[in-house]
Amino acid sequence: MRATFAGYSGLIMETFTPTARTQVRRLPKRGVYDKREVYAILDEGFVCHVGFALDGQPYVIPTGYARLADEILIHGSAASRMLHALGDGVDVCVTVTLIDGLVFSRSAFHHSMNYRSVVMLGRARVLADPAEKMIALRRFTNHILPGRFEEVRPPSDAELKSTTVLALPLEEVSAKIRTGPPVEDEGDIERPVWAGVVPLHTRLGTPEPMDDLVPGVAELERSRFTRF
């Protein structure tokens, strides 16, 4: 059972039920199905990859996304071939990956990365209701910077019509997470080479304002970027 996001007030289930398509089989101990952990990964990321097949040709398209309640939202031009295909109900696979560190072993075989990834399967629906579409576009904007939509010009009717928004229900979902140091074979421990983890972090740079800002406009506060 799933609530539409326009009236969503909370999670209905605390975990995703693994299916034949989402059960993590390779290193199953890294599989995660807890909704809080999965949604935390999705809420931290900015870019997803959308995989689908059209006329026998597979495609994987990177694009921005946002999560609203228990659906993932993607959007783009109404002329987009990808959005047309997904809107027609083709099966889709959407993935999000965050890289947290480079893992260096004393053997080439055990080099790895620390990561958090989510795989989502299903069929997307088109948001045809203008009010629901506006809610989604607000979420896209505020996913990047909280409160941003409320301080800029909202989409015009023409812009709304030229934009397609799709929502993928988060029903068949799994995450996979690797943390910690490298795996080392006992015979490699004495090898005189550095081993360990090099953490990777996404950091904000210094905001670069437009030259034509209206006098008196306040600087963009870095503290508003709550994910950094």
Residues contacting residue 157 through CB under 8 Å, at least 6 positions apart: none
pLDDT score of 135 more than 50: yes
Domain ranges of the chain: 5-196
pTM summary value = 0.89
Confidence of residue 41 (pLDDT cuts 50, 70, 90): very high
Whether 10 contacts 54, CB under 8 Å: no
Over residues 61-110, the pLDDT tens digits come to: 999 999 999 999 999 998 888 898 898 889 999 999 999 999 999 999 99
Nearest C-alpha neighbor of 21 from the set 123, 166, 100: 123
Percentage of residues in the chain having pLDDT higher than 70: 94
Over residues 165-216, the pLDDT tens digits come to: 999 999 999 999 999 999 999 999 999 999 999 999 999 999 999 999 999 9
Q: Three-state SS for 60?
A: strand
d(C-alpha 37, C-alpha 42), whole Å: 9
| Average pLDDT value for residue range 152-160 | 95
pLDDT score of 120 more than 70: yes
d(C-alpha 72, C-alpha 59), whole Å: 19
CATH tag for 5-196 (out of 3.30.950.10, 3.40.50.300, 3.40.50.2020, 2.30.110.10): 2.30.110.10
Higher confidence at residue 13 or residue 103? 103
pLDDT of amino acid 227: 83
Average pLDDT, the chain: 91
Q: Three-state SS for 221?
A: coil
Residue 212's Cβ-count burial label (10 Å; 0-12, 13-18, 19+) is exposed
Q: What Cα–Cα distance (Å) separates residue 150 from each residue in 135, 153, 180, 194, 221? A: 12, 8, 41, 50, 16
Indicate the residue type of 67.
R
Indicate the range of 4-18, 32-46, 172-186 predicted with least confidence.
4-18
Handedness of CA 210, 214, 218, 224 (dihedral sign): negative
| Average pLDDT value for residue range 43-48 | 96
Indicate the residue type of 38.
V
